[in-house]
Structure 1
Amino acid sequence: MKKALLIIDMQAMPFVWKSYGGKSLYQEARLIANTRLLIEKARKNASPIFYIMYTETTGPRSVDQPLWQIIDPIAPEPHDSLVIKYHADSFHETNLNALLRNHAIEGLVVCGIQTEYCVDTTVKSAYSHGYKVELASDCHSTYDSEEWTAEQIVLHHNNTLKHFASIVRSDEIQY
């Protein structure tokens, strides 16, 4: 089965939000390190990599703005695909499904931000589109909410998303 890596919303904004009085991402360093590991594994096996980029029509997260860019430690290479999205679902009103079908992709490895929004929605949508999904259990993140800590949110989603995806640690994922 041919797999691809989906890296969801690993753009500058979530990583610098704390500098503007916002919250810090849960286990940010681990998230970056594990994303790099998944990229390395995908490249070693010539598996396509798709960078999903949350985009707004205006403002700091509009196309080509500094906070819209993918963070340097995991920057895409010229042959990687960038998919611009305006919704939580990486498939909704994007060309992602067509790109995956053109590459004959059957399986997806999913990582990124934000666990309870774009990661959750994309995992469920990928499942509904017929893909075999693996969620990297230690490679998605979020912020503390008013009700739950970020750790609780991540653990909750690793538990509930097992109905739509295999929940696998980054070091155990194979392409």
Structure 2
Amino acid sequence: MSTLENRGRTALLVVDVQNDVVGSAYERDAVVGRIVGLVDRARDAGVPVIWVQHNDEGMEVGTTEWALVPELVPADGEAHIHKQHGDSFEGTDLEDVLAGLSVDRLVVAGAETDACIRSTIHGAFVRGYDTTLVSDAHTAGDKTEWGAPPVDQVIAHTNLYWSFQSAPGKTAAVVTSEDVDFGAR
């Protein structure tokens, strides 16, 4: 249903599940555990897994802070996207990687809900991708001291509004990790 032609594959996009990003995130262990399960199921289904890692002056490439959490181990040949902006597409080769894999549907999990996840799902959708947000496989750190709602409310709101996202020729969806169907179109 996406607006991208001559494609037909799904990919799992794992965004910023890095030591510094999720170290003190809301329900960190449960969310990471669900992402581990998604990665295993995607691989079993022959669905590409794409790893996105943010870097900046506080999280430089190659540092412990920048590294993926130890529970998540990329397999040989899986794509790695290095970004410096919230939207995983901006300033990266993500679109080229997805085109090379004939992907037109993304299943998205990771961190941070109110920043890079939100930016990436919108970025994917406006670029023509069918975009599924995994409702229980994204998280964020507490930003209430700066006036943000508690993280559970940020997650609930993001899941709510994404479930009503629409545009001609593409779909947006919100499903639990248990209900992700990598073969469904």
Q: Normalising by structure 1, report the TM-score.
A: 0.91
Alignment of 1:47-126 (within 5 A): 47-56=47-56, 58-59=57-58, 61-126=59-124
Distance 1:90 1:136, change over 3 A: same
Secondary structure (helix, strand or coil) at the match of 1:26 reads: coil
Given that 1:120 and 1:161 are in contact with CA atoms closer than 8 Å, whether structure 2 keeps it comes out as no
Shift of 1:139: 0.3
Q: Is the counterpart of residue 155 in structure 1 residue 162 in structure 2?
A: no
Q: Distance in 1 between matches of 2:80 and 2:19?
A: 15
Shift of 1:14: 2.2
Secondary structure (helix, strand or coil) at the match of 2:13 reads: strand
Unaligned runs of 5+ in 1: 17-23
Q: Aligned partner of 1:46: which letter? A: G
Q: Is the counterpart of residue 12 in structure 1 residue 13 in structure 2?
A: no
Shift of 1:46: 1.1
Q: Distance in 2 between matches of 1:15 and 1:99?
A: 25
Q: Distance in 1 between matches of 2:38 and 2:159?
A: 18
Shift of 1:75: 1.5
Shift of 1:15: 3.4
Given that 1:143 and 1:149 are in contact with CA atoms closer than 8 Å, whether structure 2 keeps it comes out as no
Runs of 4+ in 1 over 6 A off after TM superposition: none
Q: Is the counterpart of residue 2 in structure 1 residue 9 in structure 2?
A: yes
Given that 2:22 and 2:141 are in contact with CA atoms closer than 8 Å, whether structure 1 keeps it comes out as no
Q: Distance in 2 between matches of 1:93 and 1:12?
A: 23
Q: Aligned partner of 1:167: which letter? A: V
Per-residue CA deviations over 1:17-50 (Å, capped at 9, x if unaligned) read xxxxxxx311111111110111011100111111
Q: Aligned partner of 2:73: which letter? A: A
Given that 1:108 and 1:131 are in contact with CA atoms closer than 8 Å, whether structure 2 keeps it comes out as yes
Q: Distance in 2 between matches of 1:88 and 1:97?
A: 15
Q: Distance in 2 between matches of 1:66 and 1:34?
A: 22
State the Cα RMSD in Å.
Answer: 1.1
Q: Distance in 2 between matches of 1:123 and 1:42?
A: 19
Paired residue for 1:169? 176
Given that 1:12 and 1:69 are in contact with CA atoms closer than 8 Å, whether structure 2 keeps it comes out as yes
Paired residue for 2:169? none
- Higher helix fraction (1 or 2): 1
Shift of 1:154: 0.2
Paired residue for 1:21? none
Secondary structure (helix, strand or coil) at the match of 2:108 reads: strand
Shift of 1:100: 0.1
Given that 2:60 and 2:66 are in contact with CA atoms closer than 8 Å, whether structure 1 keeps it comes out as yes
